[in-house]
A and B are shown apart, each in its own frame.
Chain A
């Protein structure tokens, strides 16, 4: 490789440091998105805060009936198990496992949102 002859010994060191910096920046950003707990709201008010490290099932009474929310600690994730709403959007959304994700059962006025160490976004635009 003729290109390799252009590199001096210290250059490898600098490139290695740069690669480490890249890896560190990736891990830092991913760390921040880690899910820690789920906040369940009913009618806009906090109904329960669920620790994602313990399996739990919560029944939330709403105007239409009961919305059931389940935590799976093995994967630190949460989902809406059942909901009386007509379209079942929040149920079909499936598992939520990253900070910032939210499932809203609008007809029954129940929502479950994951919060992590830092406040994150459900989307970014520029």
Chain B
């Protein structure tokens, strides 16, 4: 029998993505401990990481970080392949699509708050569609839409502001 060594070749970019994804996963885990009145209403703190990554490294890296966060978060919370996991996955996919569009908006006019709010609405829109098609095949789910919409707006603004704050801090320390 011959010993074989499997070595994964990793690039510095992989390490960078892994570090950022770890930060996002950490925030996702912290978030679960925050008590909230309604299941499904979450601040989405890990999206702050996604926004920062989007601004600094581009959409492709943001997609990696977001995807890894959903899968690793699912494993850590014991949610992998459960309905909640597919809801997160759909939400992440929709918000990434929204971000792909948002990043193309003129930077002079639209900042992280715009991206965050657009992504939050896309997130909840995608989740409502999945819930309607699969989990609760009845228009009754749309009764919760206003609450989710308000949550998306509020948390979208807050997360966007936090991301914008961190990004400006970075630019300032970088220019010094």
> A residues bordering B, Cβ < 8 Å?
3, 6-11, 13-15, 18-19, 21-22, 25-26, 29, 118, 121, 124, 126
Give Cα A19 to B157, complex, Å: 11
Question: Is there an interface contact between B109 and A8, defined as CB atoms closer than 8 Å?
Answer: yes
With a cutoff of 8 Å between Cβ atoms, the chain B residues found around residue A3 in the complex are 161, 165
Chain A residues with Cβ below 8 Å from B150 are 22
Q: Give the contact stretch, choosing among B1-9, B13-21, B57-65, B112-120.
A: B112-120
Q: Verify B113–A18 contact, CB threshold 8 A.
A: no
Contact of B153 among A7, A15, A118 (CB under 8 A): A15
How many A-B pairs have beta carbons closer than 8 Å: the answer is 70
Since A7-B113, A124-B140, A126-B39 are in contact, a sample of 7 more A-B pairs with Cβ atoms closer than 8 Å, ordered by chain A residue number, is A6-B168, A8-B110, A8-B111, A11-B113, A11-B117, A22-B146, A29-B143
B149: interface (CB < 8 Å): yes
Secondary structure type dominating chain B contacts = helix
Report chain A residues within 8 Å CB of B39.
126
Question: Are B165 and A10 neighbours in the complex by a CB distance under 8 Å?
Answer: no
- Closest Cβ of chain B to A8, distance in Å, is 4
* Shortest Cβ distance from B164 into A: residue: A6
Assess whether B113 is in contact with A22, with CB atoms less than 8 Å apart.
Answer: no
Q: How far is the CA of A11 from the CA of B164 in the complex (A)?
A: 12
Q: Which positions in B face A, CB cutoff 8 Å?
A: 39, 105-106, 108-114, 117-118, 121, 139-140, 142-143, 145-146, 149-150, 152-153, 156-157, 160-161, 164-165, 168
Q: Which residues of A contact B143 (CB under 8 A)?
A: 29, 121, 124
Are A18 and B142 in contact (CB-based, < 8 A)? no
Nearest CB of B to A30, in Å: 9
Roughly how many angstroms separate A43 CA and B165 CA in the complex, as a whole number?
A: 66
- In contact, B157 and A15 (Cβ under 8 angstroms): yes
| Cβ–Cβ contact A10 & B140, under 8 A | no
The smallest beta-carbon distance between A5 and chain B, in angstroms, is 9
Q: With a CB–CB cut-off of 8 A, which chain B residues contact A29? A: 142-143, 145-146
Query: Which of chain A's residues have a CB closer than 8 A to the CB of B157?
Result: 15
Say how far A122's CB is from chain B's closest CB, in angstroms. Answer: 12
Shortest beta-carbon distance from A90 to chain B in Å: 26
Q: Is A19 a contact of B111 with CB atoms below 8 Å?
A: no
